[in-house]
Amino acid sequence: MFQNLRWRLLLSYLMVMAAILSIFGTGVYIFVSRNLYRQLDKKLLTLAQAAAPSFTDVEIKGSRYLEQVDAVPWRDIFNRDQQSLEWFDAKGKLLASRGTLDLNFRLSVGSQTLERWQKPKQIRIYTISVFKDGSNPNQPNLEGYIRASQSTEDIETVQSQMLWGLGMGGMMALGLVSLGGLWLSQKAIEPIEQSFQQLKQFTADASHELRSPLTAIKASVDVMRNHPERIHPKDAKKLAAIASATAQMSHLTEDLLFLARTDGTVSTPVRDRIPIPLNKILQHLVELLEPFAQDKDVALQSQWFANLSVMGDETQLTRLFSNLLENALQYTPPGGKVILTLAKHNRFALVSIKDTGIGIEREHLPFVFDRFWRADKARSRREGGTGLGLAIAQAIAQRHGGKITVTSQVGCGSCFQIRLPTV
Ligand SMILES: Nc1ncnc2c1ncn2[C@@H]1O[C@H](COP(=O)(O)OP(=O)(O)OP(=O)(O)O)[C@@H](O)[C@H]1O
Ligand SMILES: [Mg+2]
């Protein structure tokens, strides 16, 4: 039980950490990428601005000027393999260009990214307007445009390296976090486990300690009732009430002791497991409960569709089925029917206990296996029920690797199905 809780805690912890790490990684990636593009834009702007003074010469002499003049001011910052510079007149007509990038893209002032099919896949472009010298600053006289562009291959390489680095770093961080999480979840569970063990021990001890005084009361009451002549007629009823209350308390302490001993243990110890023929124990129970059914005027029918055995503990399995059969008989009014069937379904034995009783309300169904839960507390108490029968039945089924399910309809009846793995 706690192992399961520990894994769930660790998983939640890992999921939270993975979410934080991925948000952090994405943030770093976006921040660094934006900075790289901003730097590239600055570089392109500087290049375009450096090329602006040569605009008039380019306009007059065209690309001849660019071939002749080696000492152009932007020469040192221009990388002809990765960058490109273009001069346009005021109408957007290309005057000259420098560089190997082949751009066929509409002119637009400012920064842009051009996506392409061929390599380089992305080109960053920065276009500035060039104004005539001495023009009025309020009404500048447009001379043309200069467009500087560069492939973003370098940035993409840095980005993919960053993705790798962040991915690997994130994986390693998650690995370390899981180690830390294992230790933390262990530490977090320890106090819960301890108090659970203490509670379990307390319940077991208290139930165990109550057994002897209850046995003593029961023995004394039995002795007194064996000699009715010694009892004052007025006390006979009181004695009967004491006997009934004692029986109910013994039943409750036995149930509590059983639950306290089995709580937290996942399955029956291997040494206690032997093949148990289900037909035999069910037949035996039917014979045992037949007088009770006749008393209540309820027809108890059984149908065996297979001979099946399960590995387990005979006493516990008998208790599982008797709890369910007793319930079915108890909560079925006179004239009703209880049908017990045993069938095989794949590797499983399927025992179903169907009654035509009072049924359980739909919204109550999720609670029927809870400890001390009873639909009608007043009546169940009057009838001697403690509300532990189904909780015990479920604990036994789970210890045998099985499962109980219930379907019910108020006024029509209930059907409890038990699935147990066969030998
Ligand atoms: N076959 C059934 N038909 C209708 N109600 C049922 C049936 N079986 C169980 N219940 C409801 O579920 C409740 C819990 O059942 P459970 O067997 O755990 O306790 P109980 O029968 O009240 O007491 P005990 O501990 O003596 O068995 C019952 O009080 C009853 O309200
Ligand atoms: Mg019961």
Distances (CA, A) of 111 to 32, 122, 123: 18, 13, 11
**Start-end ranges of CATH 3.30.565.10 in the chain?**
270-421
List, in order, residues 6 or more apart from 158 with CB less than 8 Å away. 32, 36
- Spatial distance between the Cα atoms of 393 and 409, rounded to a whole number of angstroms: 21
- The three-point CA angle 290-291-294 to 5° equals 85
Say how many Å lie between the CA of residue 82 and the centre of ligand 2: 84
Calculated CA dihedral for residues 245, 248, 252, 258, nearest 10 degrees: 140
Calculated CA dihedral for residues 262, 265, 266, 271, nearest 10 degrees: -90
DSSP state of 336: -
The answer to whether the CB of 241 falls within 8 A of the CB of 192 is no
- Residues near ion ligand 2 (CB < 5 Å) are 327, 389
Q: Say what the pLDDT of residue 140 is.
A: 73
Q: Say what the pLDDT of residue 383 is.
A: 65
DSSP state of 231: S
Lookup result for tokens 């976006």 = 30
- Spatial distance between the Cα atoms of 382 and 377, rounded to a whole number of angstroms: 9
Q: Cα 291 to the chain's mean position, in Å?
A: 49
3-state helix, strand, coil in the chain (%, to 5): 55, 20, 25
All residue ranges of the chain with pLDDT < 50 are: none
Lookup result for tokens 């059983």 = 258
The answer to whether the CB of 352 falls within 8 A of the CB of 278 is no
Say how many Å lie between the CA of residue 322 and the centre of ligand 1: 12
Say how many Å lie between the CA of residue 241 and the centre of ligand 1: 23
Structure tokens at 12: 């939640």
Say how many Å lie between the CA of residue 352 and the centre of ligand 1: 16
Q: Which atom of ligand 1 is nearest to the CA of 384?
A: 26
Q: Is 357 in the pocket of ligand 1 (CB under 6 A)?
A: yes
Say how many Å lie between the CA of residue 342 and the centre of ligand 1: 22
Q: Is 387 in the pocket of ligand 1 (CB under 6 A)?
A: yes
Lookup result for tokens 């036994």 = 396
> Candidates 3.30.450, 3.20.20, 1.20.1050, 3.90.1690; correct CATH number of 2-160?
3.30.450
Other CB atoms within 10 Å distance of the CB of residue 422: 17
- Spatial distance between the Cα atoms of 255 and 198, rounded to a whole number of angstroms: 18
Q: Is 360 in the pocket of ligand 1 (CB under 6 A)?
A: yes
Q: Which atom of ligand 1 is nearest to the CA of 328?
A: 1
Q: Which residues pair with 353 in a beta bridge?
A: 340, 416
Closest CA to 345 of 246, 417, 289, 406: 417
- How many angstroms separate the first and last alpha carbons of the chain? 25
Lookup result for tokens 């960058």 = 83
The answer to whether the CB of 114 falls within 8 A of the CB of 107 is no
Q: Is 389 in the pocket of ligand 1 (CB under 6 A)?
A: yes
Nearest C-alpha to atom 29 of ligand 1 is from which residue?
A: 374
E-only strand ranges, 27-167: 83-89, 94-99, 110-115, 122-131, 142-151
Amino acid occupying residue 201: Q
The answer to whether the CB of 303 falls within 8 A of the CB of 339 is yes
Structure tokens at 51: 């090329």
Closest CA to 251 of 215, 219, 284, 216: 215
- Spatial distance between the Cα atoms of 296 and 293, rounded to a whole number of angstroms: 5
Q: Which atom of ligand 1 is nearest to the CA of 374?
A: 29
**Start-end ranges of CATH 3.30.450 in the chain?**
2-160
Distances (CA, A) of 144 to 54, 130, 141: 12, 5, 9
Nearest C-alpha to atom 9 of ligand 1 is from which residue?
A: 327
Q: What is the CATH number of domain 270-421?
A: 3.30.565.10
E-only strand ranges, 221-379: 274-277, 299-304, 309-312, 337-345, 348-355
Q: Which atom of ligand 1 is nearest to the CA of 413?
A: 3
- Spatial distance between the Cα atoms of 249 and 213, rounded to a whole number of angstroms: 11
Q: Is 310 in the pocket of ligand 1 (CB under 6 A)?
A: no
Say how many Å lie between the CA of residue 317 and the centre of ligand 1: 18
Say how many Å lie between the CA of residue 326 and the centre of ligand 2: 6
- Spatial distance between the Cα atoms of 157 and 152, rounded to a whole number of angstroms: 9
Nearest C-alpha to atom 23 of ligand 1 is from which residue?
A: 385
Closest CA to 153 of 105, 120, 180: 120
Q: Say what the pLDDT of residue 40 is.
A: 92
